[in-house]
Structure formats: structure tokens, C-alpha cells
């Protein structure tokens, strides 16, 4: 069975854009990204993904802060303050295909360092450009110090809808540390609710195995919030595994913690969680899509395949030999 996943092409909600304006735009003016920054699709090869306007900015004499330049991809070092620990391979492949077909809509942001350039913002775009076969990429050159570079990367990623809760929490904590802010001050700076930020920060108290389950999407934010209130680490991990193997809802976990619901009996016929995770990874590598494998017993279960676009869905049907009548 398949379930649609949110595509990276979806537009952020007005509320998200407003919050982003109060955060990232205070560090990098979005007005500095001119209409000319849009990069048209290639006419003969991916390496020609450049507009005449971008070429005008790429002259050696225009490499001042704020200039739009063409940068060799291999000369851009990764941002050491990148808060995103994991990126979905299938999503990157989809973005790379989009880059090959329609070009990059927004340039990456870099700063000059001794060895060349260092990325400030646009990690996914840079990786997708490499996958698409580009050797150069349009970049906005900024003159910032390392502290500001970290802040810009953190703020940009905080407002990404696909940033997992744990990485978001770590980004909040890093921003507070970098800027010396309290939760109240950070909430005001980002235009977010202080209580929400506090809930995310509590997730960092979870045991590492539980944090990994949240990162992998096996536990929801709701599950994580409840588990963060369990002080006994071993019990916390046991409950987390129970939520995954028994597919407990947030409400069921809440009732279980309140003592209103007995724990579901452990099935002796179920495959181990580690075995299921190994099989999930193998299927994901083969399909290039995120999957969820849930076993009810040794002979029954459910396989969920998540597709990120209609093109991916069509490709899945093709590989399964499914033909739909026009």
C-alpha cells in the first residue's frame, strides 16, 4: 500500500513564511536574491545551467559581498554547523531530477574562506546539483563570520517542514547557545511559541536509541513528548520499542503511562524489531523510497511504501508491472 508524502515543491504556509521572515531575513536579506537569480534549465548540458544575468555577476571583479557568482561545486566546503544530520536519499534524487529538468530556482549562499568557499545555506540544493552532474552552481557571496554562518544555517533549517523533531530541538539549543538567548528571547526572535520550543528542547533528554527512532520517523512528535517525561531510561526505551512494534497510538501510550491501559501482550511469533529494521533498509535501498514494515506475526504484517511525487509513484507502478488503462 502506498501513502503520499509531502513533496519539497509544496509551498510553505503563510504562517511559516511570516516566521521565516522574522528569523532568516534578519540575517540574510531575501531582497538580495534578485529575480535574475532564477537559473533556467540547460540547453545542451547540465553545466550550462546559467543565465546571462548570472554570468554578468560572475566576473572576477564582482566577487564582493552580495555578488551573485558562479562557483565550482568542488570548491564549496560543507557547512560545519549544518543541523540536519540525515537527508532522505529518495528526496535528494527527486530534487536532482528536478534540477536537471528545470534548473535551480534559488542559489546557494556561501562565504569566502582560504581554501575556496564554505556553504552557509542550501545544503540540499548543493547535493542535488552534484547528483544532477553540475560542475558549477550559482551562489550568493556573503561576508559573515563563523558565528553568523552558524546562526543562518540553523534558522534556515528550523523552518524546513521536513526537519525531524530531534534535529529541530538541537538547532534550537545551538541557537540559544550561539546567541546567548533564553527560551523566551528565542521564541520572540523566531516568532514562535515559547511552550513549543520548550517541548522540543525536552526531547534532547531522551535516550539516544529513542532519539534515533524519532529521527527515523518511527515515533511521532507526540510519542516523543510523552516519553520525554519518563525518567527511567530503561523503561523509556522499553516503551519506545513497544510503541514501534505494537504500533501504539499517542492516545494509547498516554493511557498506558497513566495506568489506565495494560501493556499489550508481547507476541512470541513476531520478528524482532532489529530484523524488521534491517529488512526495511534493504527494501528502501532497492526501491529508493522510504518504507515501513510492520509485522503482526511471523506470517502476517503490513508494508507501507511512501512516494514523494507522482513521478515516483508512476515509476513504482512500472516496476511492479501495474498498467493502468487510460
Which DSSP letter does residue 103 get? -
Q: Round to whole Å and give the CA distance between 273 and 280.
A: 10
Sign of dihedral through CA atoms 223, 162, 117, 93?
positive
List 123, 156, 192, 280, catalytic entry: 123
Q: Pick the closest to residue 245 from 273, 268, 269 (CA basis).
A: 273
Identify whether the C-beta of residue 153 lies closer than 8 Å to the C-beta of residue 81: yes
Sign of dihedral through CA atoms 152, 153, 158, 160?
positive
The three cell numbers locating residue 311? 513521478
Give alpha helix (H) positions in the chain: 14-23, 52-57, 89-102, 123-131, 146-158, 165-179, 183-190, 194-202, 208-215, 221-227, 233-245, 250-257, 273-287, 310-319
Which DSSP letter does residue 106 get? S
Write the CB contacts of 136 (distance below 8 Å, at least 6 apart in sequence).
Answer: 47, 50, 70, 71, 72, 73
250 burial (CB, 10 Å; 0-12 / 13-18 / 19+) is middle
- Residue 123 annotated among the catalytic residues of the structure: yes
Q: Pick the closest to residue 15 from 157, 143, 184, 159 (CA basis).
A: 159
Identify whether the C-beta of residue 140 lies closer than 8 Å to the C-beta of residue 109: yes
Q: Round to whole Å and give the CA distance between 21 and 13.
A: 12
In sequence order, the β-bridge partners of residue 111 are 118
The three cell numbers locating residue 265? 501482550
- Cite the active site residues: 123
Amino acid at each position: 500500500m502506498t501513502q503520499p508524502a509531502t513533496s519539497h515543491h509544496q509551498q510553505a504556509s503563510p504562517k511559516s513564511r511570516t516566521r521565516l521572515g522574522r528569523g532568516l531575513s534578519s540575517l540574510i536579506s531575501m531582497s538580495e536574491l534578485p529575480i535574475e537569480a532564477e537559473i533556467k534549465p540547460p540547453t545542451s548540458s547540465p553545466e550550462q545551467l546559467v543565465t546571462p544575468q548570472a554570468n554578468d555577476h560572475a566576473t572576477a571583479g564582482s566577487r564582493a559581498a552580495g555578488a551573485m557568482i558562479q562557483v565550482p561545486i568542488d570548491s564549496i566546503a560543507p557547512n560545519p554547523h549544518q543541523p540536519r544530520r540525515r537527508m532522505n536519499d529518495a528526496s535528494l534524487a527527486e530534487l536532482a531530477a528536478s534540477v536537471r529538468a528545470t534548473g535551480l530556482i534559488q542559489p546557494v549562499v556561501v562565504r569566502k574562506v582560504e581554501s575556496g568557499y564554505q556553504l552557509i545555506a542550501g545544503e540540499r540544493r548543493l547535493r542535488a546539483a552534484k547528483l544532477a552532474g553540475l560542475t558549477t552552481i550559482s551562489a550568493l557571496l556573503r561576508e559573515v563570520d563563523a558565528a553568523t554562518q552558524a546562526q543562518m544555517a540553523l534558522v534556515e533549517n528550523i523552518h524546513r517542514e521536513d526537519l525531524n523533531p530531534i534535529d529541530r530541538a538541537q538547532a534550537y539549543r545551538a541557537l540559544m547557545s550561539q546567541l546567548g538567548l533564553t527560551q523566551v528571547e528565542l521564541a520572540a526572535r523566531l516568532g514562535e511559541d515559547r511552550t513549543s520550543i520548550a517541548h522540543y528542547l525536552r526531547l534532547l533528554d531522551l535516550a539516544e536509541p529513542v532519539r534515533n527512532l524519532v529521527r527515523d520517523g518511527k515515533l511521532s512528535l507526540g510519542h516523543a513528548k510523552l516519553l520525554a517525561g519518563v525518567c527511567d531510561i530503561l523503561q523509556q526505551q522499553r516503551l519506545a520499542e513497544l510503541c514501534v512494534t505494537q504500533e501504539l497510538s499517542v492516545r494509547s501510550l498516554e493511557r498506558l503511562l497513566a495506568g489506565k491501559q495494560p501493556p499489550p501482550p508481547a507476541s512470541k511469533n513476531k520478528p524482532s524489531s532489529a530484523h524488521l529494521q534491517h529488512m526495511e533498509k534493504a527494501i528502501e535501498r532497492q526501491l529508493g523510497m522510504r518504507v515501513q514494515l510492520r509485522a503482526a506475526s511471523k506470517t502476517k504484517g503490513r508494508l507501507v511504501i511512501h512516494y514523494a511525487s507522482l513521478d515516483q509513484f508512476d515509476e513504482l507502478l512500472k516496476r511492479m508491472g501495474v498498467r493502468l488503462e487510460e
